[in-house]
Structure 1
Amino acid sequence: MTLKDLSQLSYLKLEMEEEKRRLAELTAAATACTATLTGLPPSTKIADKTALAAEIADIKSALLEKSKKVAEEYSNLTRFIASVDDSLTRLVLSLRFLDGLLWSEVAARIPGNSEDSVKKICYRYLKKSNNCPLCHEHMCDNRSSGIG
């Protein structure tokens, strides 16, 4: 499993949060009530509401699909992490990729470790298991690549 594979769960969760935010906006727009004035030309509010309802249905469908992907990705990550022999490495990988903690938060949860040390535990494991070509190329010092 690559670093990109390990990060997919957090990216899927971020996508879902954006979809939920958009759904809330559309729902608010669809349920907004305005006063009706007589004597004015007919409004296009009905068509607007129909379009909003269709978009809301699309977003709900996308959210359902993404939630299935999140469950699948979580299951894959859980199996991968469970296959790691070293308990400290399992803990680092779990906190970072399953719980979505920042490296500094991972380090704070594991006494005696710094942010840099937990990163190295992760990157060294991926390098050792030959699963991270990026770590192979850069010897696990990914500061310039933006990873971390």
Structure 2
Amino acid sequence: MTNKDILEQYTAVKTECKVLEKELSELRGKGWGYVTDAVSGCADELPYSVRSVQIAGMAQEPAIKREIEQLEKKLDEQYKRALFWRNKAEEILSGIPNARTRLVLRYRYVDGLDWWSVADKIGGNETNETVKKVAQKYFKENG
């Protein structure tokens, strides 16, 4: 895998995490309903007569709860993948001696900014085209 592939993979995995987080958030709001039940109990003093007590509250449908659990596991696995690719990306970035190049690649691939925003963050006379060329030059020379 090239350095560019690794940085792009991290960006993609991070985006997948956001998609799963959104799905999970939406799912957590579904399938709620008002439920009632009864429980038996007695006083802790005489007379110890057993009585039925009505209870009520909100509960989520079991099928949706299972779906949430599965999605939470999937998201946890995706977080682990993101951490793996983040570490790979950091290895690449830490090996770049030029600070400007490091910043351009960090803003673009780790922070997920578009080229206009990268140029704005770098400041000076940078344009989206100049920062894009910095990245292209790095990848041409280093894969």
Structure 1 and Structure 2 fold alike (TM over 0.5): yes
Taking a change above 3 Å as real, the CA distance of residues 35 and 54 of structure 1, as seen in their structure-2 partners, is closer
1:2: how far off?
Answer: 4.0
Matching residue of 1:12 = 13
1:24: how far off?
Answer: 1.7
Per residue, is there more strand in 1 or in 2? 2
1:19: how far off?
Answer: 1.1
Structure 1 vs Structure 2 CA RMSD: 2.0
Matching residue of 1:117 = 130
1:103: how far off?
Answer: 0.6
CA distance in 1, matches of 2:137, 2:70: 42
Q: 1:86 aligns with which of 92, 95, 98?
A: 98
CA distance in 1, matches of 2:135, 2:121: 15
Q: Percent identity?
A: 27
- One-letter amino acid matched to 1:87: A
1:5: how far off?
Answer: 2.3
Matching residue of 1:73 = 85
- One-letter amino acid matched to 2:21: K
Deviations 1:61-112 (A, max 9, x none): 0111111111111111011011012121111111111111111011011122
Normalised by the size of structure 1, how large is the TM-score? 0.72
Per residue, is there more helix in 1 or in 2? 1
In structure 1, runs of 5+ residues without a counterpart are: 37-45, 132-148
Other structure's SS at 1:29 match: coil
Moved over 6 A (4+): none
Other structure's SS at 1:33 match: strand
In structure 2, runs of 5+ residues without a counterpart are: 37-58
Aligned residue pairs total 119
Matching residue of 2:33 = 33
CA distance in 2, matches of 1:114, 1:28: 43
1:10: how far off?
Answer: 2.0
Alignment of 1:102-113 (within 5 A): 102-110=114-122, 111-113=124-126
